[in-house]
Amino acid sequence: MVSVIFRRLRRILVMPVVCWFVLFSNSPLADEPLTPERAVGIALEDNPGLAEIKARAEAMAAIPSQEGSLPDPTVSFGALWLPVASGLNLHKDDFTMMEVGISQAVPFPGKLALKEKAAVFEAEAIAETAEEARLQLVREVTLQWWQLLFIHRSLLIIDDAEHLLKQLAEIADSQYRVGKGLQQDVLSALLEQTKLAKEKAQHIGMHRAAMARLNALLNRPADHGIRLPDEVATELPDIRSAGDLQKQSEQSRPLLAERKKAIDAAQTRLELAKKDYYPDFTVGTAYSFRQNNPNGQSRSDFASFQIAVTLPIYTDRKQAKAVDQRQSELLKERYALNDAERKIQTEINASLALYQGSREQFELLKNSALPLAEQTITAAVAAYQVGKTDFQSVIRAENAWFDYRNQYWQTLAEAHQALAQLAAAVGKEAL
């Protein structure tokens, strides 16, 4: 009996992951296992939030050429000096003429170039925003995948523990019937089964919620079936120091690049505001056609040219205030960059500390705690069967074995989640 029980127990670390989702969803299971990499690929292709930001970046990329172009010229047609008293006759008065003209507004030299330059910086900033959103989506998908895996493994552990407790209850009952055990042992086993059933119900709810969150990121229905892979890598890599990661983030984190582009755009807008102290121009030309007089004598046509200049006479209320506005915006962007740098340093240090702590715990569980807990429960069950220990000692050993198995998968999931957070903080999909 003991060997049968513990052959079942040992499977929990090496057994294939039998997909539980069929119990929690009306939809069929996916044909292909959903690995973290595949989940990320699906999210990057189908996530509507990321698609929205990409579309916005594409729209912004079309702005610079518009900003750097001259205003459309104006073409005019008209009739001049029409004599009303003679019924708008085109021949009677010498000044009557038909005119066609064209004019072009020309900003002060340098303004168009600054407008286009600022729009380029703003478009590049939005492009970096899209890349930042992409990294955060990868991070979130990875976090949710590992959370789902942990809950899934916990359900398998609970299922295995239910079978163990059922078999322990049978052992206790058989010993009670032959006078070698206590009825209290049987009741204790039933109580443990009840507690485990309550925990299983909680985990099923957590499982459904985790599956819905991951499906939302993949742009799928909340109850879409998910099949996890049979094997999960348990090797955790070495990570460089926080200082090295922070230096790398300065070059690779899109958020910092976005803030720097925003500063460039704000600086250019400030230069443009200062240019507004200078006038803009409008140049034009027209050609006027005159009709022959009533006697048939021809009249010469007229050509005209003009230039108009804006007069910036409200500088205290307009241009000066615009310069103040742009200076404040530039200062705001510089503060935003400093704030982003501090937050990234905090993210890197916190994620690195979490990873290192989780990795140490996982190695202890894998190499020490779990083997000892398995040996303890094996020995406790064997001793109870021959009357050398009490039933409560067996229950305590079983609870410890149950907790350590859960901690094994929890710390592995937390380590990979910390890696995902660290990679996003540095500005890479993976370290």
Residue 85 lies in a domain: no
Residue 334 lies in a domain: yes
Residue range 68-78, pLDDT digits in tens: 999 999 999 99
Beta carbons of 101 and 287 less than 8 angstroms apart: yes
Nearest CA among 10, 424, 6 for reference residue 245: 424
Model pLDDT, residue 11: 44
pLDDT bucket at 299, cuts 50 / 70 / 90: confident
Residue 218 lies in a domain: yes
Residue range 190-200, pLDDT digits in tens: 888 888 889 89
Label residue 109 exposed, middle or buried (CB < 10 Å: 0-12, 13-18, 19+): exposed
Nearest CA among 165, 170, 166, 162 for reference residue 200: 162
* Separation between Cα atoms, residue 11 and residue 245, nearest integer Å: 39
pTM here is 0.82
* DSSP-derived 3-state class of residue 284: strand
Residue 286 lies in a domain: no
Instruction: Provide the domain limits for residue 321.
Output: 2-70+107-277+312-426
Cβ contacts of residue 364 below 8 Å, gap of 6+?
A: none
Look at residue 19 and tell me whether its pLDDT is greater than 80: no
Which DSSP helix (H) or strand (E) runs through 105?
strand 97-106
Residue range 156-184, pLDDT digits in tens: 999 988 888 887 777 777 777 777 667 77
Identify the residue whose tokens are 């990329």.
Answer: 61
Model pLDDT, residue 85: 73
Look at residue 18 and tell me whether its pLDDT is greater than 50: no
Domain count, the chain: 1
Residue 283 lies in a domain: no
Residue range 314-371, pLDDT digits in tens: 999 999 999 999 999 999 999 999 999 999 999 999 999 999 999 999 999 999 999 9
Residue 240 lies in a domain: yes
Residue 78 lies in a domain: no
Q: Which of 159-163, 220-224, 267-271, 395-399 has the highest mean pLDDT?
A: 267-271
Phi/psi zone of residue 75: left (φ > 0), alpha (ψ -120 to 50 degrees), beta?
beta
Cβ contacts of residue 311 below 8 Å, gap of 6+?
A: 279
The Cβ of residue 231 has, within 10 Å, a number of other Cβ atoms equal to 10
* Separation between Cα atoms, residue 226 and residue 20, nearest integer Å: 9
* Separation between Cα atoms, residue 132 and residue 262, nearest integer Å: 14
Beta carbons of 234 and 189 less than 8 angstroms apart: no
CATH of residue 217's domain is 1.20.1600.10
